[in-house]
Amino acid sequence: MEPCFTPAELEQLREALYAELRRHAHAMTRVPAVATAGRTRRLVDAVRRMEDGVYGYCLRCRRAIPFARLAAMPDVPTCIDCSWAQEFPHHQPPRGDVAP
């Protein structure tokens, strides 16, 4: 699989992902684990993809996820189209300048 980011971009995303993981670990000390279990799994899965060198690809359609979307949500597992399709299966995603 071709890398979808430059090494500098990937490093930036790696830092964002680990920063998010630290924030989440801190949050877990204040709320019941059951409330954070889904997020924990998403973060752990994202770290695993990062370490496996397959980070940044949509788990549903396998296309590269835009850098800005990952920078904003480092553990996001799908591209915007797939996340719309999952959340609103009967609606088309809006076209045009969609937020990442």
Binding site for Zn ion (CB under 5 A): 58, 60-61, 79, 82
C-alpha distance from residue 71 to each of 15, 29, 67 (Å)? 10, 25, 6
Nearest to 83 by CA among 3, 15, 98: 98
| Sequence-separated (6 or more) residues with CB below 8 Å from residue 21 | 43, 47
CB 40 within 8 A of CB 23: no
Nearest approach, Cβ of residue 80 and Zn ion (Å): 8
47 versus 79: smaller Cβ distance to Zn ion: 79
13 versus 77: smaller Cβ distance to Zn ion: 77
18 versus 67: smaller Cβ distance to Zn ion: 67
Nearest approach, Cβ of residue 62 and Zn ion (Å): 7
Nearest approach, Cβ of residue 57 and Zn ion (Å): 9
